[in-house]
Amino acid sequence: MKQAKKNAPMLTISIGGKDLPCRVTMGAMVRFKRSAGYDISQLDSSNLEDLLVFIWCCVLSACNADGVEFDMDFETFADKLNADDVARFFQSMDSPGSDEKKTTPRST
């Protein structure tokens, strides 16, 4: 018997007038670790740059998984990202309907 697949909450972020998928995936966590040099569990919520890198990694990974073209470098992505999208991303991670393990950036 097949089990129903539990999907991560779907969020889209509008960048340059295009809605792009954005979700936490294993690939996003690997990309973040390679980019930042440390695991997402050690992310400090006061480190704005790394918070944005994490979102960028989530968009890169979701686009790759969904076959959506996305070749924007981090700085261009950050230039086009607005504060409302950042807040919505982190709120979606804390949504009560999410079955994913919550990864909350820690403060130091």
Q: Residue 7 domain-assigned?
A: no
Q: What angle do CA 53, 38, 94 make, to 5 degrees?
A: 60
Is 32 a domain residue?
A: yes
Asked, for residue 103, whether it belongs to a domain, the answer is no
Domain extent at residue 68? 19-91
Query: How many structural domains is the chain composed of?
Result: 1
Cα–Cα dist 24/98, whole Å: 11
Q: Which segment of 12-16, 55-59, 72-76 scores lowest on mean pLDDT?
A: 12-16
Q: What mean pLDDT is predicted for residues 68-84?
A: 93
**Tens digits of residue pLDDT in 14-49:** 888 889 999 999 999 999 999 999 999 999 989 999
In this prediction, residue 85 has a pLDDT band, given cuts at 50, 70 and 90, of confident
58-73 pLDDT, tens per residue?
999 999 999 999 999 9
Say what the pLDDT of residue 92 is. Answer: 81
